Amino acid sequence: MKINRTFFLLLAGAWMLTACNGTPTAATNTAERLTSIDEDNFNFIVANDLGRNGYYDQKPIAEEMGELAEEIDIEFVAAAGDIHHFEGVASVNDPLWMTNYELIYSHPELMLDWYPILGNHEYRGNTQAVLDYGDVSRRWVMPDRYYTKSFEVGDSSTLRVVWIDTTPLIDKYHKESEESYRDVASQDIDEQLRWIDSTLQQADETWKIVIGHHPVYAETGKDEEERLNLQERLDPILRKYGVDMYICGHIHNFQHLRVPGSDIDYVVNTSGSLSRKVSPIEGTVFCSPATGFSVVSASDDTLTLYMLDKERHVLHTVERTRD
């Protein structure tokens, strides 16, 4: 596998100083809107850190997601955690399911499979209700706290997506489990890590993507223990089995990082409602404080992730090609 670095030269210099600090500049607004992708590609949306009852940028972004799905063939939505701020949900009948999800992502083209994972905010409520919501909504497909699925891509390729549950892999949530994250204590760290290892070991697909809520590498003011725990526990598994992209949320901004010794593209997908400032660090290829969502597009020869702002401008592209 080799990485197409053309976009480094085109984007890194122009965007690093303008998009990584404060609000997006005028240069952001000159980017082209994503309106088409090769019709033979396999495409899906990544959205996370959503639940603001439609406020801030949540509703406009939801509309852009639906309109894009009208224009290109979207197979599913990967919801990378924190669908519900701030205390999760109490049950499958919690009104937040309507105000955070059903009434917001109501575009007809978004009535397709959503593959979610739990974020730290879901763990502040009833996590079992998040899993059980699939019994209420036919588009909510969550067979377990972590799971995997393989997809046919193009004429001769396949895509393996592995959804994982990162909150229990981080020590701080276990320390706070009695007070704030009650379901964390009952989760077995080693059992999930063994499952991730076994799943990736058996994965022989052309492309391999792992989706979790927390970042392995990122610029953030959040507790460093979060990244250190995942760098120690998760990252060695990702590297061992040649994962192409690790995609997460949690930080509420866009980041793309490459780190020494790893061939993985580490992607932080921004918030679909309310974002935060971001600055470049060692390994940063691109970052932006814009709200929005991402689209992943796979073909026989390329795997591409488009970072899109709330008006669907393409801020950055992560592309991998086959030898």
Binding residues for Fe cation, by number, are 49, 82, 120, 213, 250, 252
Q: Note whether 66 and 110 are within 8 A (CB).
A: yes
Are the C-beta atoms of 305 and 44 separated by less than 8 Å?
no
In the structure encoding, which two tokens stand for residue 177, read together? 């489990």
Instruction: Tell me if 276 sits within 8 A of 263, measured CB to CB.
Output: no
The tokens for 47 are 């959205």
Of 295, 255, 259, 297, residue with least CA distance to 276: 255
Q: Distances in Å between the alpha carbon of 235 and those of 34, 134, 264? A: 32, 30, 10
CA–CA separation, 175 vs 173, rounded Å? 5
Binding residue numbers? 49, 82, 120, 213, 250, 252
Kindly write down the DSSP assignment for every residue of 34-91, as one continuous string: P----TTSEEEEEE-S--STTTTTHHHHHHHHHHHHHHS-EEEEEE-S-SSTTT--SS
Q: How far is CA 18 from CA 124, 251, 257, in A?
A: 36, 19, 17
**CA–centroid distance for 295 within its chain:** 10
